[in-house]
């Protein structure tokens, strides 16, 4: 995993990043950080890669659940400030759906519509979901099953199931940060799991 051109985005999302570090990194290029042996550049590189690695793992661990026909939500408690990044990722994969990720303290909501992405950073996820549920009450839920069948068929491939590789590459702390028990046993989540 090499340092991307937009490394400042990832650096600024690190939990230990300060304005001083961002100012220091602003004068450097991604290539300079990648090949430098300077202690400060190595620290910046490590911070960028920590954030990128956590974002990569969380994208694989978050399990979305439906709340009506237009809202998807999932548990997320990242160590770095990347909630919006993960939320945007799922919003882009599910256009015209409101994606809410969060926990009891904070939440991130994203909507991808018409080539634009909108964000909202709010308080607790239950509070945000209740407001959205109220706003969408009376909506038609008929097509919900079809939407979820398409979504999960695109996500789940039993041919790629390899529990040994999964547990070797995905630390327990990241499983906990997503609150996901379905990921622990390597089983794919299906629509029927939500309505059982």
Query: Could you give phi then psi for residue 18, rounded to 5 degrees?
Result: -120, 170
Per residue in 36-94, pLDDT tens?
A: 999 999 999 999 999 999 999 999 989 999 988 889 999 999 999 999 999 999 999 99
**Cα(129)–Cα(173) distance, integer angstroms:** 26
CATH class of the domain defined by 62-195: alpha beta
Pick from 14, 191, 124, 188: nearest CA to 180: 188
Helix (H) or strand (E) holding 165: helix 163-169
Tell me the HSE value of 145 on the side-chain side, using a 13 A CA sphere. Answer: 4
- Each domain of the chain, given as residue ranges in start order, spans 7-52, 62-195
Q: How far is CA 102 from the centre of its chain?
A: 10
What 8-state DSSP symbol labels residue 84?
Answer: H
pTM (2 decimals)?
Answer: 0.69
State yes or no: pLDDT of 180 exceeds 50. Answer: yes
User: Is the pLDDT higher at 194 or at 52?
Assistant: 52
pLDDT digits (tens, 9 = 90+) for 135-178: 766 555 444 445 445 544 555 556 666 777 766 766 677 666 66
Query: H or E stretch including 119?
Result: strand 116-122
């Amino acid at each position: 995993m090499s340092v991307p051109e937009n490394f400042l985005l990832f650096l600024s999302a690190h939990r230990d990043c300060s304005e001083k570090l961002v100012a220091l990194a602003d004068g450097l290029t991604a290539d300079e950080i990648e090949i430098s042996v300077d202690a400060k550049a190595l620290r910046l590189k490590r911070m960028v890669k920590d954030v990128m690695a956590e974002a990569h793992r969380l994208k694989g661990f978050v399990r979305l659940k439906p709340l009506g026909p237009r809202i998807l939500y999932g548990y997320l408690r990242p160590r770095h400030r990347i909630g919006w990044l993960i939320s945007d990722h799922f919003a882009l994969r599910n256009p015209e759906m409101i994606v809410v990720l969060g926990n009891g303290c904070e939440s991130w909501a994203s909507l991808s519509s018409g080539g634009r992405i909108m964000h909202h950073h709010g308080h607790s996820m239950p509070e945000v979901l209740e407001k959205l549920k109220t706003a969408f009450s009376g909506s038609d839920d008929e097509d919900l099953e079809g939407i979820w069948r398409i979504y999960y068929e695109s996500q789940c491939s039993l041919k790629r199931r390899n529990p040994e590789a999964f547990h070797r590459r995905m630390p327990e702390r990241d499983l906990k940060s997503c609150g996901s028990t379905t990921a622990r046993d390597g089983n794919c989540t299906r629509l029927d799991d939500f309505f059982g």
